[in-house]
Structure 1
């Protein structure tokens, strides 16, 4: 059995879980094993049904007072107990911050090896030996590794493949698993949330208008804000912009900022340093606006306009206004 740990937020499945199930279908087929899933802190029928739509034949649920909300220690111990009871051949989770944290907890508790951010996993020479390609340094480096383990713990690279439902959905069977958790594990459980902003966020926006050092000043971001508002998107920025104090860190796109997945990312005046590219590369399409034709962002973009962003951005806005009129 390949067991996929399903990440969710209070009963809503996370995209990382869907990606892990998509990744897991291929791996389970290669193992010649059924694809099953584990759901911690919830037994919602809709989550079970959605897991079935992505190919999970069975979903094991663990509910406990300590699991009232997410907590790395509680979820890690619950996952470890489920693995002890279910005895899967391999365990997989999505490569989000939460998924990697849970699997690290499991690895420590079960004394098993963990490999994070996998892009390819192949059986190599039989049971217990795995050939793995994974991304390092935010995706700027690919590492080929060999893992010898009877029960590998893996996470799939975040946003490295599109989540796709199975060609033939199955009706997943839900089965409760009893877990015995010490109340002390609740010391790191989420107790409350404060909504800092409503509506579309940088990580969920369908359109992101990015600005870099080439924008020139905090005030010069106004045309970018206008275009983003017209397209129902958000404004992002490079690290150079936050370092200059022009925009808050919450607007930063990159390895140490927010990783975005819009339908289109319009990167204006951004050179495209590797750290920024790591945060932007999951965009469906990228349009670069830059006066430097050799800029990294221009070279890697789907489309590029070699011109002054202060002329191009207002021109795009005016054309949209004209067409809508």
Structure 2
């Protein structure tokens, strides 16, 4: 059996990257003769979320409940996932390559005494089980053999496109309250705070993203970029240097140490396109780069490019959008 940790959005629906992981698990299941795919969620799932997971071919939804799961704790979640795995005897435990997915799978692998493969893109043979994963921020690919059981790994964001199964699964829901040691709750989320204004949205699922880099010039240089973001109903993503300089918050960062995006359109403005940033945006379907340097890596990789100062080009784009909308 294959067990997939599924994260849910604030409205209780399965996250897009988790549905990608379930899609990946289905292809692995098909290659292995049709072993069932089960998922683990924290908290009792909504009816609509169960319907979604059923449409994605999930046989059973294991819902972890109890005080230990009221807030995020990597160790506690791992204890719950391992409890499900041990009862079912699954040979594969996996999650999407999000910060939480990576943390939980690391705990799972350590407790099970097996290696973990992060950012897996695809798999090869099953005997032995070989996966291909991103390393060095996506600059290189590595083949890794997972001979120990369970095989534990995370799936790189947008490695596959989320797609429902040809035949729905049973979608049975099993509510479980596994035992969690006090030591597993030492590190846990104790509070959350929402920013006053957030244009980043859910970068991982945004269809249009406006990017901003050092070319913005300063923390005060985002006025036109923010207007473009609003006009396009887009999300704002920034390079690492922007967050390092304190111009924008870290949760807006796109790249190796930020979000991985796969929008229909990415508009990087004043971003050179270092390999660390490219690791986060290479799955974009179309890229329109705005940069003063015609030889910048982002420009040479872009679908389209405009060579010039973003502070001249972006206001012109905004004006044209407003004009066309009357």
If the length of structure 2 is used for normalisation, what is the TM-score?
0.88
What displacement does 1:151 show?
2.5
Query: Structure 1 residues 94 and 251 mapped into 2: Cα distance closer, same or farther (>3 Å)?
Result: closer
Q: Once structures 1 and 2 are overlaid, which stretch shifts more, 21-30 or 107-116?
A: 107-116
Unaligned runs of 5+ in 1: none
- Structure 2: distance between partners of 1:249 and 1:78: 30
Match in the other structure for 1:146: 145
- Structure 1: distance between partners of 2:145 and 2:258: 31
Match in the other structure for 2:268: 267
1:5 aligns with 2:14: no
In the TM superposition, 1:43-62 aligns within 5 A as: 43-44=44-45, 45-62=47-64
What displacement does 1:284 show?
3.5
Q: Once structures 1 and 2 are overlaid, which stretch shifts more, 32-41 or 85-94?
A: 32-41
Say whether the 8 Å CA contact 1:40–1:67 is kept in structure 2. Answer: no
- Structure 2: distance between partners of 1:146 and 1:134: 11
Match in the other structure for 1:91: 93
What displacement does 1:186 show?
2.8
- Structure 2: distance between partners of 1:304 and 1:283: 15
Q: Once structures 1 and 2 are overlaid, which stretch shifts more, 272-281 or 34-43?
A: 34-43
Match in the other structure for 2:104: 102
What displacement does 1:246 show?
4.5
Match in the other structure for 1:228: 229
What displacement does 1:171 show?
3.4
Unaligned runs of 5+ in 2: none
Query: Structure 1 residues 123 and 149 mapped into 2: Cα distance closer, same or farther (>3 Å)?
Result: farther
- Structure 2: distance between partners of 1:150 and 1:266: 43
- Structure 2: distance between partners of 1:192 and 1:301: 40
* Residue correspondences, number: 322
Query: Structure 1 residues 197 and 15 mapped into 2: Cα distance closer, same or farther (>3 Å)?
Result: farther
RMSD: 2.4
Give CA deviations for 1:163-220 in whole Å, capped at 9, x if unaligned: 1111232331223445222344333332322111456425435433223333444444
- Structure 2: distance between partners of 1:242 and 1:233: 19
What displacement does 1:30 show?
0.5
What displacement does 1:76 show?
0.8
Query: Structure 1 residues 244 and 63 mapped into 2: Cα distance closer, same or farther (>3 Å)?
Result: closer
In the TM superposition, 1:190-209 aligns within 5 A as: 190-197=189-196, 200-204=199-203, 205-209=206-210
**Structure number, greater radius of gyration:** 1
If the length of structure 1 is used for normalisation, what is the TM-score?
0.88
Q: Once structures 1 and 2 are overlaid, which stretch shifts more, 252-261 or 95-104?
A: 252-261
